[in-house]
Amino acid sequence: MLIAGNWKMNLNSSDLFEFQKLIVNEKIEKKVEIAIFPQFPQLQLAKQILSKYNVKIGAQSCSSQLSGAFTGDVSADAISDIGCDYCIVGHSERREFHNETNEFVKNSASLLLSQNITPIICVGESLNIKLQNRTQKFIHNQIKECIPDIVSSSLIIAYEPLWAIGTGRIPKNEEIMSVHNVIFNELSHVKNLKIIYGGSVNLSNCSNVLKLKNVHGALIGGSSLKFKDFLAIYKTAVKQVI
Ligand code: 13P
Protein backbone atom coordinates (compact mmCIF):
# COMPACT_ATOMS: atom_id res chain seq x y z
CA MET A 1 0.00 0.00 0.00
CA LEU A 2 1.20 3.52 -0.80
CA ILE A 3 -0.15 6.80 0.53
CA ALA A 4 1.27 9.51 -1.70
CA GLY A 5 0.89 13.27 -1.32
CA ASN A 6 1.12 15.27 -4.54
CA TRP A 7 1.81 18.80 -3.32
CA LYS A 8 1.51 20.18 -6.87
CA MET A 9 2.62 23.87 -7.00
CA ASN A 10 2.10 24.46 -3.28
CA LEU A 11 4.12 24.78 -0.07
CA ASN A 12 7.79 25.55 0.46
CA SER A 13 10.83 24.64 2.56
CA SER A 14 9.36 25.83 5.86
CA ASP A 15 6.39 23.50 5.28
CA LEU A 16 8.82 20.62 4.91
CA PHE A 17 10.09 21.35 8.42
CA GLU A 18 6.48 21.50 9.67
CA PHE A 19 5.84 18.12 8.09
CA GLN A 20 9.02 16.78 9.66
CA LYS A 21 7.86 17.89 13.14
CA LEU A 22 4.73 15.78 12.74
CA ILE A 23 6.34 12.75 11.14
CA VAL A 24 8.89 12.41 13.96
CA ASN A 25 6.11 11.09 16.19
CA GLU A 26 4.62 8.71 13.62
CA LYS A 27 5.30 5.04 13.29
CA ILE A 28 5.86 4.34 9.62
CA GLU A 29 4.97 0.73 8.87
CA LYS A 30 6.82 -1.37 6.30
CA LYS A 31 3.58 -2.57 4.73
CA VAL A 32 2.27 0.93 4.07
CA GLU A 33 4.60 3.45 2.48
CA ILE A 34 4.18 7.17 2.79
CA ALA A 35 5.54 9.45 0.06
CA ILE A 36 5.47 13.16 -0.68
CA PHE A 37 5.93 14.95 -3.99
CA PRO A 38 7.05 18.56 -3.40
CA GLN A 39 8.14 21.02 -6.12
CA PHE A 40 11.55 20.40 -7.70
CA PRO A 41 13.53 22.97 -5.66
CA GLN A 42 12.38 21.35 -2.41
CA LEU A 43 13.23 17.76 -3.33
CA GLN A 44 16.80 17.80 -2.08
CA LEU A 45 15.82 19.19 1.33
CA ALA A 46 12.89 16.79 1.55
CA LYS A 47 15.22 13.86 0.95
CA GLN A 48 17.70 15.19 3.48
CA ILE A 49 15.29 15.75 6.36
CA LEU A 50 12.59 13.11 5.79
CA SER A 51 14.17 9.93 4.47
CA LYS A 52 15.48 9.01 7.92
CA TYR A 53 11.84 8.76 9.00
CA ASN A 54 11.13 6.38 6.10
CA VAL A 55 9.22 8.98 4.12
CA LYS A 56 9.70 8.33 0.40
CA ILE A 57 10.29 11.28 -1.90
CA GLY A 58 9.13 11.74 -5.46
CA ALA A 59 9.16 14.29 -8.27
CA GLN A 60 6.01 15.49 -10.03
CA SER A 61 7.21 15.14 -13.62
CA CYS A 62 10.20 14.19 -15.73
CA SER A 63 11.45 15.03 -19.22
CA SER A 64 10.96 12.50 -22.01
CA GLN A 65 14.51 13.23 -23.19
CA LEU A 66 17.76 11.90 -21.79
CA SER A 67 19.58 15.28 -21.74
CA GLY A 68 20.30 18.31 -23.88
CA ALA A 69 18.88 21.66 -24.91
CA PHE A 70 15.50 21.49 -23.16
CA THR A 71 15.39 24.65 -21.05
CA GLY A 72 13.32 24.31 -17.91
CA ASP A 73 12.92 20.54 -18.12
CA VAL A 74 14.30 18.09 -15.56
CA SER A 75 15.88 14.76 -16.51
CA ALA A 76 15.44 11.33 -14.94
CA ASP A 77 19.16 11.43 -14.25
CA ALA A 78 18.83 14.63 -12.16
CA ILE A 79 15.84 13.17 -10.31
CA SER A 80 17.86 10.06 -9.56
CA ASP A 81 20.78 12.19 -8.39
CA ILE A 82 18.60 13.57 -5.60
CA GLY A 83 17.71 10.03 -4.57
CA CYS A 84 14.01 10.14 -5.41
CA ASP A 85 12.16 6.87 -5.05
CA TYR A 86 9.23 7.81 -7.26
CA CYS A 87 8.22 10.17 -10.04
CA ILE A 88 4.71 10.99 -11.22
CA VAL A 89 4.34 10.93 -15.01
CA GLY A 90 1.44 11.94 -17.21
CA HIS A 91 -0.56 13.68 -14.52
CA SER A 92 -3.65 15.14 -16.18
CA GLU A 93 -2.46 18.66 -15.31
CA ARG A 94 0.78 17.98 -17.22
CA ARG A 95 -1.19 16.53 -20.11
CA GLU A 96 -3.48 19.57 -20.16
CA PHE A 97 -1.08 22.45 -19.51
CA HIS A 98 2.15 21.04 -20.96
CA ASN A 99 0.79 18.94 -23.79
CA GLU A 100 2.29 15.72 -22.47
CA THR A 101 1.13 12.89 -24.73
CA ASN A 102 0.98 9.14 -24.17
CA GLU A 103 4.21 8.85 -26.17
CA PHE A 104 5.87 11.44 -23.91
CA VAL A 105 4.68 9.51 -20.84
CA LYS A 106 6.03 6.24 -22.20
CA ASN A 107 9.46 7.77 -22.88
CA SER A 108 9.68 9.46 -19.47
CA ALA A 109 8.63 6.27 -17.70
CA SER A 110 11.26 4.26 -19.60
CA LEU A 111 13.99 6.73 -18.63
CA LEU A 112 12.88 6.62 -14.99
CA LEU A 113 12.91 2.83 -14.96
CA SER A 114 16.44 2.88 -16.36
CA GLN A 115 17.42 4.96 -13.30
CA ASN A 116 15.62 2.59 -10.90
CA ILE A 117 12.99 5.18 -10.06
CA THR A 118 9.45 3.83 -9.89
CA PRO A 119 7.21 5.77 -12.27
CA ILE A 120 3.68 6.53 -11.12
CA ILE A 121 1.87 6.70 -14.43
CA CYS A 122 -1.42 8.60 -14.27
CA VAL A 123 -4.40 7.64 -16.38
CA GLY A 124 -7.99 8.82 -16.22
CA GLU A 125 -10.98 9.78 -18.30
CA SER A 126 -12.64 13.18 -18.72
CA LEU A 127 -16.25 13.74 -17.74
CA ASN A 128 -17.19 13.74 -21.40
CA ILE A 129 -15.73 10.29 -21.95
CA LYS A 130 -17.40 9.00 -18.79
CA LEU A 131 -20.79 10.34 -19.90
CA GLN A 132 -20.36 8.59 -23.23
CA ASN A 133 -19.67 5.30 -21.42
CA ARG A 134 -16.25 5.08 -23.02
CA THR A 135 -14.17 4.97 -19.80
CA GLN A 136 -12.96 1.37 -20.03
CA LYS A 137 -11.93 1.64 -23.67
CA PHE A 138 -10.19 4.97 -23.03
CA ILE A 139 -8.20 3.63 -20.06
CA HIS A 140 -7.33 0.48 -21.97
CA ASN A 141 -5.90 2.63 -24.73
CA GLN A 142 -3.99 4.95 -22.37
CA ILE A 143 -2.39 1.95 -20.70
CA LYS A 144 -1.46 0.40 -24.04
CA GLU A 145 0.20 3.60 -25.22
CA CYS A 146 1.85 4.79 -21.97
CA ILE A 147 3.49 1.66 -20.61
CA PRO A 148 7.15 1.10 -21.49
CA ASP A 149 7.80 -2.03 -23.59
CA ILE A 150 10.04 -3.50 -20.93
CA VAL A 151 9.17 -3.07 -17.27
CA SER A 152 12.13 -4.53 -15.43
CA SER A 153 11.27 -3.24 -11.96
CA SER A 154 8.22 -1.98 -10.15
CA LEU A 155 5.52 0.15 -11.70
CA ILE A 156 2.61 2.08 -10.27
CA ILE A 157 -0.49 3.19 -12.13
CA ALA A 158 -2.60 5.95 -10.62
CA TYR A 159 -6.20 5.97 -11.78
CA GLU A 160 -7.23 9.61 -11.54
CA PRO A 161 -10.52 10.43 -13.27
CA LEU A 162 -10.18 14.05 -14.40
CA TRP A 163 -13.67 14.94 -13.18
CA ALA A 164 -12.76 13.76 -9.66
CA ILE A 165 -9.60 15.85 -9.26
CA GLY A 166 -10.16 18.74 -6.86
CA THR A 167 -13.95 18.55 -7.27
CA GLY A 168 -15.04 16.63 -4.19
CA ARG A 169 -16.65 14.06 -6.53
CA ILE A 170 -15.49 10.49 -6.40
CA PRO A 171 -16.46 7.46 -8.52
CA LYS A 172 -18.64 4.70 -7.10
CA ASN A 173 -16.75 1.74 -5.66
CA GLU A 174 -17.80 -0.45 -8.60
CA GLU A 175 -16.47 2.14 -11.05
CA ILE A 176 -13.07 2.26 -9.35
CA MET A 177 -12.89 -1.52 -9.17
CA SER A 178 -13.83 -2.05 -12.78
CA VAL A 179 -11.20 0.42 -14.06
CA HIS A 180 -8.56 -1.11 -11.80
CA ASN A 181 -9.50 -4.51 -13.24
CA VAL A 182 -9.03 -3.25 -16.79
CA ILE A 183 -5.55 -2.05 -15.80
CA PHE A 184 -4.70 -5.33 -14.07
CA ASN A 185 -5.75 -7.38 -17.05
CA GLU A 186 -3.74 -5.25 -19.43
CA LEU A 187 -0.64 -5.41 -17.22
CA SER A 188 -0.80 -8.97 -15.94
CA HIS A 189 2.79 -9.46 -17.15
CA VAL A 190 4.17 -6.78 -14.77
CA LYS A 191 5.48 -8.45 -11.63
CA ASN A 192 5.53 -5.60 -9.13
CA LEU A 193 2.44 -3.69 -10.13
CA LYS A 194 0.47 -1.40 -7.82
CA ILE A 195 -2.66 0.46 -8.83
CA ILE A 196 -3.58 3.43 -6.71
CA TYR A 197 -6.58 5.75 -6.87
CA GLY A 198 -6.49 9.55 -6.95
CA GLY A 199 -9.16 12.25 -7.08
CA SER A 200 -10.78 13.97 -4.08
CA VAL A 201 -9.51 11.44 -1.55
CA ASN A 202 -9.96 12.87 1.94
CA LEU A 203 -10.18 11.80 5.54
CA SER A 204 -13.89 10.98 5.32
CA ASN A 205 -13.84 8.86 2.17
CA CYS A 206 -10.39 7.26 2.38
CA SER A 207 -11.36 4.11 4.26
CA ASN A 208 -14.07 3.41 1.70
CA VAL A 209 -11.56 3.69 -1.15
CA LEU A 210 -8.65 1.93 0.52
CA LYS A 211 -10.72 -1.10 1.51
CA LEU A 212 -11.36 -2.01 -2.15
CA LYS A 213 -9.67 -5.24 -3.12
CA ASN A 214 -7.63 -4.01 -6.06
CA VAL A 215 -6.74 -0.56 -4.70
CA HIS A 216 -3.16 -0.41 -3.45
CA GLY A 217 -3.13 3.10 -2.13
CA ALA A 218 -4.01 6.68 -2.95
CA LEU A 219 -2.51 9.68 -4.72
CA ILE A 220 -3.75 12.67 -2.78
CA GLY A 221 -3.70 16.35 -3.78
CA GLY A 222 -5.64 18.82 -1.62
CA SER A 223 -5.78 16.69 1.53
CA SER A 224 -2.03 16.07 1.45
CA LEU A 225 -1.51 19.79 2.09
CA LYS A 226 -3.32 19.44 5.41
CA PHE A 227 -0.64 17.45 7.14
CA LYS A 228 -2.78 16.22 10.03
CA ASP A 229 -5.40 14.91 7.60
CA PHE A 230 -2.72 13.33 5.44
CA LEU A 231 -1.22 11.49 8.40
CA ALA A 232 -4.68 10.44 9.56
CA ILE A 233 -5.29 8.99 6.08
CA TYR A 234 -1.99 7.14 6.44
CA LYS A 235 -3.15 5.70 9.77
CA THR A 236 -6.43 4.60 8.18
CA ALA A 237 -4.44 2.73 5.53
CA VAL A 238 -2.29 1.07 8.19
CA LYS A 239 -5.40 -0.11 10.03
CA GLN A 240 -6.68 -1.75 6.85
CA VAL A 241 -3.47 -3.59 6.13
CA ILE A 242 -2.27 -4.70 9.55
P1 13P B 1 -7.13 16.08 -5.24
O2 13P B 1 -6.87 15.07 -4.16
O3 13P B 1 -6.96 17.49 -4.81
O4 13P B 1 -8.44 15.81 -5.92
O5 13P B 1 -5.98 15.86 -6.36
C6 13P B 1 -5.77 14.58 -6.85
C7 13P B 1 -4.54 14.60 -7.67
O8 13P B 1 -4.51 15.21 -8.73
C9 13P B 1 -3.38 13.89 -7.15
O10 13P B 1 -2.39 13.76 -8.12
Give the residue numbers annotated as catalytic, written as ranges.
91, 160
Give dist(CA 228, CA 145) in Å, integer.
38
Region 207-213: mean pLDDT is 96
> How many other CB atoms are found less than 10 A from the CB of residue 41?
9
Question: What's the pLDDT tens digit per position in 67-102?
Answer: 999 999 999 999 999 999 999 999 999 999 999 999
Contacts of 157 (CB under 8 A, 6+ apart): 120, 121, 122, 123, 143, 183, 187, 193, 194, 195, 196
Which atom of ligand 1 is least distant from the CA of 166?
A: 4
Is a pLDDT exceeding 90 seen at residue 242?
A: no
CA angle 195, 201, 189 (to 5 degrees): 5
Rg (CA), the chain: 17
Question: Does residue 221 line the site of ligand 1, with CB under 6 A?
Answer: yes
Question: What's the pLDDT tens digit per position in 154-204?
Answer: 999 999 999 999 999 999 999 999 999 999 999 999 988 999 999 999 999
Pocket test for ligand 1, best of 7, 8, 11 (most atoms within 8 A of CB): 8
Question: What's the pLDDT tens digit per position in 113-155?
Answer: 999 999 999 999 999 999 999 999 999 999 999 999 988 789 9
> How close is the Cα of 68 to the center of ligand 1, in Å?
31
6-241 topology per CATH: TIM Barrel (3.20.20)
| HSE, side-chain direction, 13 A CA sphere, residue 220 | 29
Question: Does residue 200 line the site of ligand 1, with CB under 6 A?
Answer: yes
Give 168: exposed, middle or buried? Use CB within 10 Å, 0-12, 13-18, 19+.
exposed
Question: What's the pLDDT tens digit per position in 43-68?
Answer: 999 999 999 999 999 999 999 999 99
pTM, entire model: 0.97
Question: Does residue 219 line the site of ligand 1, with CB under 6 A?
Answer: yes
| HSE, side-chain direction, 13 A CA sphere, residue 31 | 8
> How close is the Cα of 166 to the center of ligand 1, in Å?
6
* More confidently predicted of 30 and 22: 22
Which atom of ligand 1 is least distant from the CA of 202?
A: 2
